[in-house]
Amino acid sequence: MRNARALSKLKLAMNLIRVIYCRMLRILGMGRKARKNDSLPGSLDMLILRTLSRRDLHGYGIVQFIQQSSENGLLVEEGSLYPALQRLELHGWIDGKWGVTSNNRRARIYKITATGRKQLAVETRKYANLTLAIARVMGAE
């Protein structure tokens, strides 16, 4: 009986994660403009910081990495990306320098800073706590 109950809670938590994932799709621009209440605050910033923690990239490379690593589940629009990059740079969490891409095009290459790595850890903990709290509410009997 205990195992069945644990399995039921696990299934509920997985369904919740799917719901949150679908919300993130709307946040990041999937065919319609996200309304103010559709977003999980800071999720795009967290995804950009996570991407840059793996390698330095230009804006289009960041979009491609997020799209490919989410198996086309997350699509970041330029109208969301570039203001987020500017905001992260103003906070000192990323640093952008002009460089040349693999296609010999001039582009701004972004890298995460030490402060950005600390912020990524903070954002990751907040996100984990949020999803756990929601899962608890959804699993409450």
- Please give the single-letter amino acid code of residue 93: W
Does the pTM surpass 0.85? The reply is no
3-state secondary structure of 132: helix
What pLDDT is attached to residue 15?
Answer: 66
CA-CA-CA-CA dihedral for 23, 28, 34, 36, to nearest 10: 80
Give 39-60 pLDDT, tens digit per residue. Answer: 455 689 999 999 999 999 999 9
Of these ranges, 1-10, 16-25, 37-46, 124-133, the one predicted with the greatest mean pLDDT is 124-133
Is CATH 3.30.450.20 what the domain over 2-139 is classified as, yes or no? no
What pLDDT is attached to residue 38?
Answer: 41
What pLDDT is attached to residue 66?
Answer: 94
Q: Other C-beta atoms within 10 Å of 14: how many?
A: 11
As a whole number, the mean pLDDT across the chain is 83
Give 93-124 pLDDT, tens digit per residue. Answer: 999 999 998 889 999 999 999 999 999 999 99
What pLDDT is attached to residue 31?
Answer: 45
What pLDDT is attached to residue 74?
Answer: 86
Give 58-83 pLDDT, tens digit per residue. Answer: 999 999 999 999 888 888 988 999 99
Contacts of 134 (CB under 8 A, 6+ apart): 16, 20
User: How far from the centroid of its chain's Cα atoms is residue 127's Cα?
Assistant: 10
